[in-house]
């Protein structure tokens, strides 16, 4: 069983959450080319190691939040402010 810490509800079983994806910043639609949009929508870094992800607490508080997760060990930690 994997525990994930919701900032509002505390540690819960990961089955209560839905994985949204890697955290990325949305480009400005007014200045973005089609190639940049395609990269934003479909290309993922898929890193080996620590990555910042967005999760949704679907059976709890229904809030989105970010968490850092190690892709090999599934250890998690709160997001650092500069990530």
Q: How far apart are CA 15 and CA 11, in angstroms?
A: 12
Is-contact 68 83, C-beta < 8 A?
yes
DSSP state for residue 14 in the 8-state scheme = G
Q: 39 or 61: whose CB is closer to Zn ion?
A: 61
* Between 32 and 54, CB nearer to Zn ion: 54
Which of 26/62 has CB closer to Zn ion?
62
Reported residue count of the chain is 83
- By the criterion CB under 5 A, which residues form the site for Zn ion? 6, 8-9, 57, 60-61
CB 38 → Zn ion: shortest distance, Å? 33
């Amino acid at each position: 069983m994997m525990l994930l810490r919701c900032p509002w509800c505390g540690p819960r079983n990961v089955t209560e959450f839905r994985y949204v994806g890697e955290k990325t910043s949305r480009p400005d639609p007014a200045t973005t080319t089609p190639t940049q949009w395609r990269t934003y929508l479909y290309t993922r870094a898929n890193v080996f190691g620590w990555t910042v992800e967005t999760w949704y607490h679907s059976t709890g508080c229904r809030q989105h939040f970010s968490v850092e997760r190690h892709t090999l060990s599934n250890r998690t930690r709160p997001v650092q402010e500069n990530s």
